[in-house]
Structure 1
Amino acid sequence: MKLTLYVATIVLVGTTRAAALNPNNADCPADRRFLHDLKSLLRIHLGEKIIPPETDSSQWTRTVGGATFTRWGKTTCPKGNDVVYKGYAGGSHYQAKGGPGTTLCLPETPIYEKYTSEASDSYIYGTEYETDREASPLHRLDEDDVPCVVCQSHHKTSAIMVPARNECFAGWHLEYKGYLFGGSTAHTGSSDNVCVDSEAEVIPGGKTNTNGHLLYMIDAKCGALPCPPYVDGWELTCALCTK
């Protein structure tokens, strides 16, 4: 047990010092990915009580009935919210003919129980941004992997995602704004709609095009959808609002 605590302490002290020396982590994505994966493995084998998951709050604000929501494309929660957990966006393969249509925020540290290496008929894949259009507001994210964070409000008790607006209605508080994303209508895989932060981040080291679960910006299409006020082909915004 003493050795376990010693190893855990060394890892935590080392990563803390590295973060202090290079707070922006702009020049070493591979190193950051390695340290992240190392901490995740140590949490699995040593336990989260020894190496707890990272949060943005030094002291967890315990609030009964606080609203929870997922912030897609970010690893931090808006001010006034606590981090429940951080992780990776995931869902069904974009070419799957069936399977769940929900995008999930998978935690950094999974916990397994009984398992088998035999093939399953249902799989979950990591999510990539598909913003290859050069004029896309988030073109810089193209082919990068999508992070996420689940947040709990200190005081608000309700949370809703409002599509096609980057402002909340009267009486509601804006937690973050962004763009509406979902699966391509040209693909067979199931998908849903998620609100990706307009200042979205990426998972370090995840630029490789692996084509698992894919998210595209959603455009308005005139017809049954009235134009105006909607505009054909324009990317739709979104807002996460609490009350």
Structure 2
Amino acid sequence: MKLTLYAAIIVLVGVATVATLNQNNVDCPSDRRFLHDLKSLLRLHLGEKIIPLETDSPYWSSSGATFTRWGRTTCPKGNDVVYKGYAGGSHYQAKGGPGTTLCLPEAPIYEKHTSEVSESYIYGSEYQTDSKTSPLHRLYQDDVPCVVCQSHHKTSAIMVPARNECFPGWHLEYKGYLFGGGTGGTGPSDYVCVDSEAEAMPGGKANTNGHLLYMIDGKCGALPCPPYVDGWELTCALCTK
């Protein structure tokens, strides 16, 4: 009870602070970032039971397929939120390190730690859609959100590259564009399917150049053209069954 009251007081103070700083009712990225960080800190110190994650159903399935929706903070209808967070991976100029893009939760839990220098680091992801004709150019240099979802009824999930439709017998959860690390970088990377209606982390539009995600173009050669088209951005689809 005391913790709940404490959390409510902090939230009210935070909302009042934002209202004071932004009296003109203008959508302000720094205000949205402040509220987002405040909620994350509350989950970190008070636990998800105090500020629960959003779910699509009061009945949590223990056997449904799980998948990550890159570029969004909500799950498609028919799925529950396992957790929301931030896309991250190795630095784009790293000469080694893991090559997997991870969805890092909003509220990390630490145990034993040291401030000494490590030999491996993880960085937040940024959209590198610098081309003005890019489908997601509006997100250039923005930080990438993510959400891990669990289906109510589907038991399998696959990401299909180069298609924005699922094969017969499969259900489309979301469609988007294929992203990955730049070929000009030295760091390892993998491929992720970023939602075509992608969003950005609140207040995260800064050129910090950590883990970078570029749209993937098809290149003719061993890849047959047609049916592929040289230089066209590849789509993707997240499908469940």
Distance, in Å, in 1 between the alignment partners of 2:39 and 2:101 is 25
Q: Which amino acid aligns with 2:51?
A: I
Give unpaired runs (5+ residues) of structure 2. 18-24
Alignment of 1:56-135 (within 5 A): 56-57=55-56, 59-135=57-133
8 Å Cα contact 1:75-1:86 kept in structure 2: yes
Alignment of 1:1-243 (within 5 A): 2=2, 4-12=3-11, 27-52=27-52, 54-57=53-56, 59-243=57-241
Alpha-carbon shift at residue 12 of structure 1 (Å): 4.8
8 Å Cα contact 1:61-1:82 kept in structure 2: no
Q: Which moved further from structure 2: 174-183 or 36-45?
A: 36-45
Alpha-carbon shift at residue 26 of structure 1 (Å): 7.1
The aligned counterpart of 1:22 is none
8 Å Cα contact 1:90-1:213 kept in structure 2: yes
Distance, in Å, in 1 between the alignment partners of 2:177 and 2:89 is 19
Alpha-carbon shift at residue 75 of structure 1 (Å): 0.4
Alpha-carbon shift at residue 47 of structure 1 (Å): 2.9
8 Å Cα contact 2:159-2:193 kept in structure 1: yes
> Kindly tell me: are residues 229 and 144 of structure 1, through their superposed partners in 2, closer, same or farther at Cα, counting changes over 3 Å?
same
Alpha-carbon shift at residue 14 of structure 1 (Å): 7.2
> Kindly tell me: are residues 67 and 17 of structure 1, through their superposed partners in 2, closer, same or farther at Cα, counting changes over 3 Å?
farther
Q: Which amino acid aligns with 1:109?
A: A
Alpha-carbon shift at residue 11 of structure 1 (Å): 4.0
Q: How many residues align?
A: 234
> Kindly tell me: are residues 226 and 17 of structure 1, through their superposed partners in 2, closer, same or farther at Cα, counting changes over 3 Å?
farther
Q: Please give the TM-score of this superposition, normalised by the length of structure 2.
A: 0.92
Alpha-carbon shift at residue 150 of structure 1 (Å): 0.3
Distance, in Å, in 2 between the alignment partners of 1:26 and 1:199 is 23
Distance, in Å, in 2 between the alignment partners of 1:48 and 1:69 is 21
Note the alpha carbon deviations across 1:53-96, whole angstroms, 9 max, x for none: x3143x54222310000000000000000000000000000000
Note the alpha carbon deviations across 1:75-127, whole angstroms, 9 max, x for none: 00000000000000000000000000000000000000111111100000000
Q: Which amino acid aligns with 1:171?
A: G
Percent identity, aligned pairs only? Answer: 79
Q: Please give the TM-score of this superposition, normalised by the length of structure 1.
A: 0.91
